[in-house]
Structure 1
Amino acid sequence: MNRSIKTLGICLALAAGLSLSMPAFAATTLRIGTVLAPNDPMGQGLEKFKAEVEKATNGEVLVQVFHNSQLGDTTEMIDQARAGANVGTVTDVARLSSFVPSLAIMSAPFLFDTYEQADKFALSEQYLAWGDELKEKSGLVMLASNWYQGPRHALTQKPVSSPADLKGVRMRTIGAPIWIETIRAMGAEPTPIAWGEVYSALQLGSIDAAEAQPTAIKGAKLYEVIKHVTKTGHIQLVTALVVSADAWDQISPENQKIVRDLAVENGRYASQLTIDLGEQALADVAANGVTISEVDLAPFKEAVSGVYGLLELEAEAAVVNEVLGR
């Protein structure tokens, strides 16, 4: 009998040891923040993503969505996630290029002509391989990279018809090399600041200009502090939904697949909203007294053509062209 008790004790100890060494896939909450307003297409897409994930996983994966920079600026949320906090966000992919340099190509100037091209490339084997490197090198997991926020246009206090008109203009942009060098090549002085500070910076004159997509111009009410929107469309803002690897690893493989699939599906939903609402957003901005102008893009394309070589992205550009068959 003593031998039976001893054997039982050993079995229980082994079972306890195994339970400690194996991941426990209990209910997990993903906290996802955005700097944008709840009615922005990205905000609407995240709310739909939340509802569908919770339903499809039977509540085993919960999603909390935080709008309007409640969890901080995008860079701050990325830093929190890398430090192990349960935080995710929708980010321009260029911010992730400090970990995987090739990812910067997604934000390269005048690269994609349509959302469909960006969506195709974001799901290509080549791009997904770069995404897989991200977890190992940064502690971030990219769920999907097809969340389209629209074309970035120049927002200024004076008319713009060529790169020469931007000389000396302090223009807010995203603080990643591809963005900074693109804005510099366009003739302006790139000035990275947090998105939540753009309105007041324009209002106070600490910056002269900004660049943003139509829905964000409207959502942030920038029409109150600018006079001109020039439709340069210099970068198509294709963003990624990323989460902390620590939180992601608490989810079962079966539920991980569900979450990834829904991230792609709702990326397409949010992107279509962006496309559908974009022109109306510009019309609303115009109705508030802002001049919306078309412009000859040829001088701008010529001005930024050297950015690819400067940042050593020619090979990645060739990969994009191969995937898109052009």
Structure 2
Amino acid sequence: MKKFAFILFLAVITIIAGCGDKSEGSSGDGSIKIVAAHNQTSPENPYQDGLLKFKEVAEAESDGNIKVEVHAGTIGTEESELVEKLKTGGADVVLVSPGFMTQTGIKEVNLLALPYLFDSYEHWEKVVDGEVGDKMANIINEKSNNDFKLLGYWTAGVRHYYGKKPLQSMEDLEGLTMRTQTSGVVANYWKQTGAIPTSVAWGELYQALQQDVVDSAENAYPYFVQQNHHTTDNGKYITETGHDYTTRFLLVNGNKFDSYTKEQQEIILKAAEASVKAERESLYKQEEEYKQKAIDDGAKVNEIDRQPFIELAKPLQDKAAKEMGVTDLLEKIREMK
């Protein structure tokens, strides 16, 4: 009887040890499940195209041993929810903006959200796909203590003004309430133009524009046209200010990533690279499609001399970069134009 008990004890220890060797989220056959999530609920959103490509490549390259679940706003429509789930294991891959990342204590990332930092998508791609992007990725990983590992840079489009009247000059913004960030350098920039930054949840913005809660807002064509903001009286005039070529971070939990096998890591990185290409292509295509849809629906689009806006932004960029300790990166970005 004692011999049997000892054998049983050894068997239990062996099982426990074996379980400890498996990657978190893996099953007995060596496969793993990855929960990938973004905060947009529209199935037509470029984020969805990007994550579906991630799923396609990860599953194909692993012969189905990596299974990916894609969630479009179903486990969180706020970035704070998604990042919390990334930390606690409720999600494995998420998408967030620089503005939110600063709330985690990584202030340097807000450099990529400064108004008029980029003047074209070509310029933006050279920056994020080059030395500056690599340095920012290292900062994110180090300052988060490996909670966040950057898999790639996505974009949410180039942002423009839309409101109850067109802009012919900066003076037309004087006294207009605008749905935008209400703190930080972005809010300070719009205050200096004469606008009044106002906080409205994204899901409530259509109603806020319709009911005169705000006079205007700013975003990229695929986002505000998909939400029909351009069909309201306070959203029908679109002025192409082009003030932000946006950056979004595709993140994985660094500690969990490190627990995967080398082969699994390589496949995830390959899937991430494919997702970057797919998301950008989708966004670039949708920018033209949704601009035309806005015009077809009766919205009025006009261009504006951006130079006064660019000049206003420069000293704010200098001050913000100095406070973040990334003046060298700001200069590199300017040199790459």
Classify the TM-score, shorter chain: 0.7 to 0.9
Q: Are 1:305 and 2:304 matched, yes or no?
A: no
Q: CA distance change for structure 1 residues 55 and 235 in 2, over 3 Å: closer, same or farther?
A: same
CA deviation after TM superposition for structure 1 residue 300, in Å:
1.1
User: 1:123-142 to 2 correspondence within 5 Å?
Assistant: 123-138=129-144, 139-142=147-150
**Aligned counterpart, 1:251:** 260
TM-score if structure 2 supplies the norm length?
0.82
| Structure-2 change in CA distance of 1:88 and 1:174 (3 Å) | farther
Percent identity of equivalent pairs? 23
Map of 1:9-20 to 2, 5 A cutoff?
19=18
Matched, 1:191 2:204: no
Contact kept? 1:152, 1:237, Cα under 8 Å: yes
- Whole-angstrom distance in 1 between the partners of 2:21 and 2:131: 30
- Structure 1 residues 56, 174: closer, same or farther in 2, change over 3 A? farther
Structure-1 separation of matches of 2:74 and 2:312: 33
1:247 to partner: Cα distance: 4.6
- Seen in structure 2, the aligned counterparts of structure 1 residues 245 and 207 have a Cα distance that, compared at 3 Å, is farther
| Aligned residue type for 2:330 | A
In the alignment, the residues of structure 2 paired with residue 22 and residue 117 of structure 1 have an alpha-carbon distance, to the nearest angstrom, of 45
Would you say the 8 A contact 1:156–1:208 is kept in 2? yes
Cα-to-partner distance string for 1:255-278 (whole Å, 9 max, x where unaligned)? 222222322222122212222221
CA contact (8 A) 2:132 2:329 kept: no
Cα distance, 1:40 vs. partner?
A: 1.9
Q: Deviations over 1:57-88 (max 9, x none)?
A: 22333222222565222233223323443254
Provide the rounded CA distance (Å) in 1 between the counterparts of 2:64 and 2:34: 9
Per the alignment, residue 152 of structure 2 pairs with: 144
Match of 1:268 among 277, 281, 294: 277
- Which residue of 2 is the match for residue 214 of structure 1? 221
- How many residue pairs are counted as aligned between the two chains? 320
Partner of 2:101: 96
Give the whole-Å Cα distance in 2 for the aligned partners of 1:69 and 1:302: 41
The answer as to whether partners of 1:154 and 1:231 remain within 8 angstroms in 2 is yes
Q: 1:58 to 1:186 in 2, by over 3 A?
A: farther
Match of 2:118 in 1: 112
CA distance in 1, matches of 2:255, 2:59: 19
- After superposition, the Cα gap between the structure-2 partners of 1:61 and 1:120, relative to the gap in structure 1 and judged at 3 Å, is farther
CA distance in 2, matches of 1:96, 1:222: 27
Aligned residue number for residue 24 of structure 1: 23
Q: 1:182 to 1:64 in 2, by over 3 A?
A: farther
User: For the structure 1 residues 249 and 85, does the alpha-carbon distance in structure 2 shift closer, same or farther, using more than 3 Å as the test?
Assistant: farther
Relative distance call for 1:285 and 1:127 in structure 2 (3 A) is same
Q: CA RMSD in A?
A: 3.0
Describe how 1:49-64 pairs up with structure 2 within 5 A: 49-64=54-69
Q: Which residue is 1:164 aligned to?
A: 171
* Partner residue, 1:200: 207
Amino acid at match of 1:133: I
Could you tell me which residue of structure 1 aligns to residue 236 of structure 2? 227
What residue is the counterpart of 1:277 in the other structure?
A: 286
Moved more, 130-139 or 293-302: 130-139
Q: Judging changes above 3 Å, is the alpha-carbon distance between structure 1 residues 224 and 59 closer, same or farther for their aligned structure 2 residues?
A: same
Q: Distance in 2 between matches of 1:228 and 1:57?
A: 48
Task: Choose the corresponding residue for 1:295, options 286, 304, 307.
Answer: 304
Aligned counterparts of 2:188 and 2:65: Cα–Cα separation in 1: 44
Q: What runs of 5+ residues in structure 2 fail to find an aligned partner?
A: 27-31
2:180 maps to which of 143, 155, 173: 173
> Quick one: distance in 2 between partners of 1:207 and 1:82?
35
Report the CA distance shift for 1:221/1:68 in structure 2 as closer, same or farther (over 3 A).
farther
Change over 3 Å in CA distance of 1:298–1:69 after alignment to 2: farther
User: How many Å separate the matches in 2 of 1:174 and 1:319?
Assistant: 26
Equivalent position SS for 2:243: coil
Separation of aligned partners in 1, 2:334 and 2:8: 63
Instruction: Provide the rounded CA distance (Å) in 1 between the counterparts of 2:182 and 2:141.
Output: 21
Residues 188-241 of structure 1: CA distance to partner in whole angstroms, max 9, x if unpaired?
A: 222244322221222232222111101112211111221211100000012121
TM-score by length of 1: 0.85
Q: Is the Cα contact below 8 Å between 1:108 and 1:178 reproduced in 2?
A: yes
Unpaired segments of 5 or more residues in structure 1? none
CA distance 1:11–1:67, shift in 2 (3 Å): closer
Tell me which residue corresponds to 2:29: none
Tell me which amino acid in the other structure corresponds to 1:44. Answer: D
2:175–2:196: 8 Å Cα contact kept in structure 1?
yes
| Alignment partner, residue 46 of structure 2 | 41
Distance verdict in 2 for CA 1:77–1:168, change over 3 Å: farther
